[in-house]
Structure 1
Amino acid sequence: MTGQEGTPRTYLIAGTRQFAARPAPGLHVVATPIGNLGDISVRALETLAGADVIACEDTRMTRRLTDRYAIEAPLIPYHDHNGASMRPRILARLAAGDAVALVSDAGTPLVSDPGFKLVVEAAEAGHRIHPIPGPSALLAALVAAGLPTDRFLFDGFLPPRDGQRRNRIAELKAIPATLVLYETGPRLAESLADLAEGLGPRPAAVCRELTKAFEEVRRSDLAALAAHYATASTPKGEIVLVIGPPQEAAAQDGDVDAALTRALADHSLKDAVAAVAGATGRPKRDVYARALALTRGEDG
């Protein structure tokens, strides 16, 4: 329970100092709060406090978290601009048996941040990757939006250039799932206008400042949201857009639910799923998910 120079590995929670065991060697991918520092898990605190080093996008951002919980593990920067030079150094530490914690500025690493290449190279070198799950803006927005969650596609940030953005939206149009996108405040109004034009009158939600004091989830259709943000002041921070599936996909889900309701009245869950999947051509795993939702009463 001591650091590299014999100092105790500890963290502070609710005014009480806790001792942290050194994590197992390897790369620990640690989810951190997206706004409210109270959302950190005890396991994440133990991992960060016990790590030999914490690799982070911005040491200033991570320092707010480590200062809050009196974590003294050293911080090193790892981001898009220094990744090529820092990865060999981090891999060398892993090869020496260190426990390295990887964090992003907020949320779960590897979701629209530079951690992917490090995880790939660490895994290829034979080092163990330890996921420490926790906060995610993607999932927080998805559950707050009030849109279908049984099938969704996360597509990160839309391209910043007009033509490329419209082409990407055209590719997304036919996907029979709820869409989840990240966006910045300065680009929000323009992206919403292109989404409204390219996808049509779909329900959507703009989620921002999630878990913070001024959390906002604005729900409407894409055209109305585009009109609102065209005249509103530029929102701050990164934003999550959640967009409902195409109407025909929603109708298909309704047809599947109706067929399952009839089949479940006379058959076991397994047999009902097999029968409906065969009759509708929908993947069996999707039909099974719908059947579970129906039997658990999640849709009513």
Structure 2
Amino acid sequence: MNESQAGQLFIVATPIGNLADFSARAIEVLKSVDVIAAEDTRHSKYLLQHYAIQTSTISLHEHNEQQRSDALCQRLLAGESVALISDAGTPLISDPGYRLVTTVRDAGIRVTPVPGCCALITALSASGLASDRFSFEGFLPAKSSARKQVMESLKSDARTLIFYESPRRLLAALEDAVLIFGEQRQACLARELTKLHETIETRALVDLIDWVKADDNQQRGECVLLIEGSQNEATADEQEVSRLLKILLTELPVKKAAAMVANITGGSKNEAYQLALKLQQKN
């Protein structure tokens, strides 16, 4: 097969739950390469055994990626073929692999994607939220203050927002989302996608919280949280004023921060002052 020529790095998507979602091409590639770089070799062995893939594996995770990248690049330069897989889904999407791909491409080696499952796209497709424009924001911060700061920076974004979230922090994240986005902003919880207990529920944020609280099972498993984009998108100037105020308010009093921002942007000092008061109250 052309895809398994020597000296190629294959980025291979794996199932996110249902093993039947694995493509024939992905299986063929994994059987034909010289080595498979896996995020967790112990986790991946069950998938490989299921499809009788006997290719040797080597670990590549966030703690050893730079070292492994250099070693794998040398193997590729020597003519070997390598496949990269994550525990589930498409590698590099909130998973290791960026350093490896960058290192390999910088060395002039071909990188070939073998597409397949991706939790964020799977969730978006069934959520009922707008899919023409969206922004994937990865995992939200663990601490509430940092989480709210991230959400605040996205409050006026008109795109559908997509996050990965730990089930242990799901309820806290939803409560913060209500504070920032408002009770009636539509949101979707997509949990345990393609698995036996898959749930995809879209409601107003305030109702989604009640729904999650009423069933402890909704706080288990892998979660994707999608939040409807703003219907009143802030202009670029308004976003810049907000961004500058957030920076200056960490060091300056409200009045002085507002005056400086108005001077920098050429906007209204009073409007900057009112926004600064709101930002200060939220913090």
TM-score (norm 2): 0.78
> For 1:218, which of 169, 186, 201 is the aligned residue?
201
Q: Verify the 8 A CA contact 2:37 2:60 in the aligned structure 1.
A: yes
Specify the SS of the correspondent of 1:179: strand
Secondary structure of the residue aligned to 1:113 is coil
In the other structure, the counterpart of 2:230 is 246
| Cα deviation, residue 231, structure 1 | 5.4
Q: How far apart are the structure 2 equivalents of 1:33 and 1:236? A: 19
The one of 148, 151, 155 equivalent to 1:173 is 155
CA contact (8 A) 1:27 1:101 kept: yes
Unaligned 5+ runs, structure 2: 234-283
Distance 1:121 1:92 in 2: 10
Q: Is the 8 A contact 1:22 1:51 kept in 2?
A: yes
| CA separation of 1:167 and 1:68: change in aligned 2, threshold 3 A | same
CA RMSD in angstroms, aligned pairs only: 1.7
CA distance in 2, matches of 1:51, 1:79: 20
Alignment of 1:142-153 (within 5 A): 142-153=124-135
SS at match of 1:185: coil
Q: Which amino acid letter does the alignment assign opposite residue 245 of structure 1?
A: G
CA distance in 2 between partners of 1:66 and 1:23 (Å): 21
Cα separation, 1, equivalents of 2:123 and 2:95: 18
SS of match in other structure, 1:180:
strand
Alpha-carbon distance between aligned partners in 2 of 1:29 and 1:111, rounded to the nearest angstrom: 11
2:66/2:99 contact within 8 Å kept? no
Give secondary structure in 1 for the equivalent of 2:161: strand
Please say if residues 6 and 76 of structure 2, whose CA atoms lie closer than 8 Å, have aligned partners that are also in contact: no
Correspondence list, 1:187-266, <5 A: 187-200=169-182, 201-230=184-213, 232-233=215-216, 235-248=219-232
* Structure-1 separation of matches of 2:71 and 2:232: 51
Match of 1:106, SS?
coil
TM value normalised by structure 1 = 0.74
2:68 is aligned with 1:89: no
1:32 counterpart residue number = 14
Question: 1:233-267 CA distances to partner (integer Å, 9 max, x unpaired)?
Answer: 26222210111111235xxxxxxxxxxxxxxxxxx
**Structure 2 CA distance, aligned partners of 1:85 and 1:231?**
46
Aligned pairs for 1:155-166 (under 5 A) are 155-166=137-148
1:104 is the counterpart of 2:86: yes
Alpha-carbon shift at residue 222 of structure 1 (Å) = 1.1
1:5 corresponds to:
none
**Kindly tell me: are residues 243 and 21 of structure 1, through their superposed partners in 2, closer, same or farther at Cα, counting changes over 3 Å?**
closer
Cα offset, 1:226, TM superposition = 2.3
Tell me the secondary structure at the aligned position of residue 139 of structure 1: helix
- Count of residues in Structure 1 that have an aligned counterpart in Structure 2: 231
Matched residue SS, 1:220: strand
What does the per-residue CA deviation read over 1:83-109, in whole Å, with 9 as the maximum and x for residues that have no partner? 232222111111111110000000001
Q: Which residue of structure 2 lines up, in the alignment, with residue 69 of structure 1?
A: 51
SS of the counterpart of 1:70?
coil
Secondary structure, in 3 states, of the residue corresponding to 1:85?
helix
> 2:3 & 2:102 partners in 1: Cα distance?
26
Letter in 2 for 1:204: A
Q: Which residue of 2 aligns with 1:123?
A: 105
Task: Provide, for residues 39-71 of structure 1, a one-character-per-residue CA deviation record: whole Å limited to 9, x for no partner.
Answer: 011111111000100000111221111111101
Matched residue, 1:136: 118
In structure 2, C-alpha distance between the alignment counterparts of 1:227 and 1:23, rounded to whole Å? 54
What amino acid sits opposite 2:227 in the alignment?
Answer: I
Task: Indicate if the aligned counterparts of 1:21 and 1:46 stay in contact, CA closer than 8 A.
Answer: no
- Distance in 2 of aligned mates of 1:177 and 1:99: 39
Structure 1 unpaired stretches of 5+? 2-19, 250-300
Q: Is the 8 A contact 2:34 2:82 kept in 1?
A: yes
- For residues 227 and 42 of structure 1, the distance between their equivalents in structure 2, rounded to whole angstroms, comes to 42
**Paired AA for residue 211 in structure 2:** H
